[in-house]
Structure 1
Amino acid sequence: MATGWAHEGAVQEQIDDTVDEAVARARSQLPKGESLTHCEHCDQPIPEARRQALPGVRLCVACQSALDQDARSAGINRRGSKDSQLR
C-alpha cells in the first residue's frame, strides 16, 4: 500500500495505537471498590444483581448508558482526509 512519506508499517502502527488506547481507556473506566446502593447521578436504587455482576458499580443502567454514549463520541480519529493523501 502506498503511504507517501510514511515509513513501512506506519498504517499498522496507527491501527495498533488506536486499539491500545481504546483498551487502556476501557480498563481505566472499570469500576473499583465497593458498589453503591444508589446511583451517584440520579440517586435511583441500583439493583442487587447489577451490584453483584459489576463490583464497584456507581451508576444505574440509565446513567451508565448515557455516559457510555457520550464517551463514544469523544474518540480520536487518526485517519487523514482524502485531500491530504493526494498531495
Structure 2
Amino acid sequence: MVCPFDRAQELEQRQRDQAITAQLALSRPNGPSLTHCEDCDKPIPEQRRALGGMTRCVPCQTLFEQGVR
C-alpha cells in the first residue's frame, strides 16, 4: 500500500519540476545590458550586466516583478 505522505511528496516534486520547466521556457532578455538602471539611474553591477539584456538594478527589477512600478 502506498503511503499518503509518499504520494504527497511525489505530487509536490512533480509540481516543482513543472514550475521550473515553465520558468526556463520563458524568453530571457538578450543583447547588451545598460550600464545604469532605467528606473533609478544607479549603476548596474558588472556581474549583472554580464548576463546580457539587463536594464534594471536588482532592487528595481524586484519591484518591477512584484508589480509595484
Normalising to structure 2: TM-score of the pair? 0.51
* Alignment equivalent of 1:2, drawn from 1, 4, 10: 4
- Which residue does 2:34 correspond to in 1? 36
Match runs of 1:26-65 below 5 Å: 27=24, 28=26, 30-52=28-50, 54-64=51-61
Opposite residue 43 of structure 1, the aligned amino acid is D
Structure 1 gaps, min length 5: 4-8, 71-87
Give the structure with higher Rg (CA): 1
Normalising to structure 1: TM-score of the pair? 0.45
* C-alpha distance after superposition, 1:28-61 (max 9, x if no partner): 2743222122213222222334312x11212113
Q: CA RMSD in A?
A: 3.3
Number of equivalenced pairs: 62
